[in-house]
Copies of this chain bind each other. A is one copy, B any other.
Amino acid sequence: MAPKQKGNVDIVAVAKAAKVSPSTVSRTFNHPDLVSPATRKKINRAVQKLGYVRNRAAQMMHGKRSGTIGLVVPTINHAIFAEVIQAFSDAIDQEGFTLLLASHGYDLDREYEMVRKLMEHRVDGVALIGLQHSAATSRLIAQQETPAMAIWNYTEDSELPCVGADNRLAGRMAAEHLLELGHRDIGLIFPDTRGNDRAQYRLSSALETLQKGGVSVPEDRMSEAPYSVAQAKQAAIRLLSGPARLTALLCGNDVIAQGAVYGAQNCGLRVPGDVSIIGIGDFKGSADIEPGLTTIRIPAETIGTLAGQRFTAYITSETREQFRLRCRLERVVRGTTCSAA
């Protein structure tokens, strides 16, 4: 059926089969209006018969766009990033772009390597998670004049165009919620903040808000946990079985919060009766656990979609005007928080 010319089906093979010149074949793809319908039909038949597939690398060499966008994330294996990646991928796919994906495991030096690698493939743009990046990365982006953007975090003075949420506000909202409920003895469980501006912002603003509310959080009420339910559970147990009688736990993200819920239950404490727990993120599944997790919702899907749409528009436009989109946060009160005593 498909005669496959030992794999070397290129535009000139098609031209030969259709008895026209390569130029005409090329034009049929790129400017069909300049080619007569009859010729077009001949060419399409030849394309069909030979199973020709366009070679974008070769096109690219004429200043055409590669049609790829690079996305560099800390990790793929994460409810929240998975959701962003999916939405971003769908959005750029809609515009004919393909996703080049790389992850760096929260290591900013590896992030640089990944960006470099993507640039070797001449991506039309590179999207990064968060606004904190190594100087080398910024220099590289500037030097190559590759369009770049930040996803997930928003600040009004960001260097890069960005689409995301205000993580400082997220930390504040979580703290305010606990404050409003009358909690004074509050523990914090956060991930390592190095190279993770999202967590950094959340933590510092939560702390600040609590302070302003007259609540101080000494060292022994803070704990660090990686992105893992099991380890967060351990961290919560440590905190809750310590000397301080905590009535609330503020967690850096929903996975940690989920672990904290199990940890509290494990200590024989009822949630929210004995201890209130709030997360940040509203991951898929946070609504489903029992009791439903109270959290500050960050609209991952919306962010991914918007980021994809804006970025492709940015890339294809001539003007290249900066954009900064702040996505609204939402306090989602479910079953893991209630007023203190």
Contacts and interface: CB of A to CB of B under 8 A. Distances in A.
Interface string A73-93: 001111100110110011001
Contacts of A83: 77
A177 interface: no
Interface string A137-164: 0011011110000000000000000000
B139 A2 contact: yes
Contacts of A119: 53
- What number of copies of this chain does the assembly contain? 2
B120 A54 contact: yes
Interface string A120-145: 11100000000000000001101111
Interface string A41-60: 00000000001011111101
A134 B60 CA distance: 30
B2 A55 contact: no
**How big is the A interface, by class?**
35 or more
A191 to B, nearest CB: 16
Interface in A194-249: 229-230, 233
Contacts of A56: 120-122
A53 B98 contact: no
A90 B103 CA distance: 8
A262 interface: yes
A144 B102 contact: no
A259 interface: yes
A49 to B, nearest CB: 11
A70 B229 CA distance: 31
A66 interface: yes
